[in-house]
Structure 1
């Protein structure tokens, strides 16, 4: 399958700087004071880096050594931005698939996770998008994705409560109880090793 090139998203850097300056004024700050002089540019730089992120090549695959083997990668930390409040959230992402004709290069899991995290999103959408990319690249429905995260829109505002949100996207053989249980057990065992 040929590498799909996505049209890159771009931001209007100058407009973001102007809007941040206006926001500073609107919240009662002086954008001309020493500590804030470069803040509009820094925030515009952040959004350019975040939104215009290039994950590199995603589709490096190899012939499968054995069929029906579960491949799992766990604990990939990504950061995204809540589309409701534009506040950050992080997730530890775990993915698995049942190898059939091909296997995916190891670094591609992280590249796919980061590619989908670099947007205004929701955790539920993030796991679904990662799953969709893996299914497309591997040509199989036998994919599972789980994310465990904390959302600053809940931790630092509103109810102000630390938490962990867990979401998953399961398809193909992972809809079967025994395969799903094996995946969850691998994720939990990996979590226990990192504590």
Structure 2
């Protein structure tokens, strides 16, 4: 094949290429609209600046725990502020977020934790019955972090060794998070429900 001037000295570099990633959306929103409301959950309201700082704190706390590129962080959470923070904080640490389907049974959750090689599991106490059983079934031994949703007043217990708010508070709000090296880097892992066999992972 013939080489043309377009094939010479035009390699990808920081001056002409930036990996596509949703992480920059939150960074920009916090810079342009820092005081605008980003999250409303019951009586709680957080700004984009607070959302960004907490996501960076989560990333920092995960990094302090040794979580880095291509490590899986599983989350068994409903649509709460913690779940939103996981969607940014986990990939800011270079890790891969595995959001678990809260409607699935313990056996499928256990399979997902094992297959995804979860190093951390952030779980709402609302799902403690399913998670307790799943942890007993799986071989993975993730760090279990409890989230206690302030608007949930139903049954459930804490299963982990650390509280989510304490974990986030241990992180640095100025954490220098990393952009992905390449837009083909994994950012999320999801599983099918396994209705015709074992669940299938989708990266």
Q: Which has a greater percent of helix?
A: 1
Point out which structure has higher relative CO (alpha carbons under 8 A, 6+ apart). Answer: 2
